[in-house]
Amino acid sequence: MKQLDAIEQKLMQLGSPATKARILRIPLQYQQNDHHGLFLDGNTADNRAFLMYEDEIIQCMLQLDQVLSEGDTTIRDRRRQLVKQAEQLLAPLDQHKQEEWKKETKRLQQGSKRKHRHRQKRKLHVPTTA
């Protein structure tokens, strides 16, 4: 039970309204891989803060997996409750990542269209005689 109490305390700290609000305001910066896919890495301070917060929640879930109930329904139910609490903390993070990914995808598509139009205009202005 002491392990569960410690994990619950950690989840309560991570789930404080001020902490959640701060993390969900972080603008994420996606990187492009070689196949033009986007991925989130820890190369910026904002990305690092977001990913570290997410990792702390996941670490709590891993710690919960290590708590054995040995048939005790009280422990099993408490563990289940804490897992749900952790999942509720992760859900808005996943949504925030998705929204930021959509913004970045849209920005890249708009940039691609601008470049394409620019190339077409330049081709029209190139003289055909030497």
pLDDT of 112 reads 65
In this prediction, residue 49 carries a pLDDT of 94
What residue ranges do the domains of the chain occupy?
2-94
Report the C-alpha gap between 5 and 3 in whole angstroms. 5
- Does the pLDDT value for residue 74 go beyond 80? yes
Considering just the CA atoms, what is the radius of gyration of the chain in Å? 23
Between CA 58 and CA 52 the distance in angstroms is: 10
Global pTM exceeds 0.85:
no
> Does 1.10.600 match the CATH number of domain 2-94?
no
pLDDT tens digits, 100-111: 989 888 888 887
> What's the 3-state SS for 23-59?
HHCCCCCEEECCCCCEEECCCCHHHHHHHHHHHHHHH
* Token couple for 51: 């990913």
Share of the chain above pLDDT 90, in %: 61
Model confidence over 32-56: pLDDT tens digits?
Answer: 887 778 888 888 999 999 999 999 9
Higher pLDDT, 40 or 79: 79
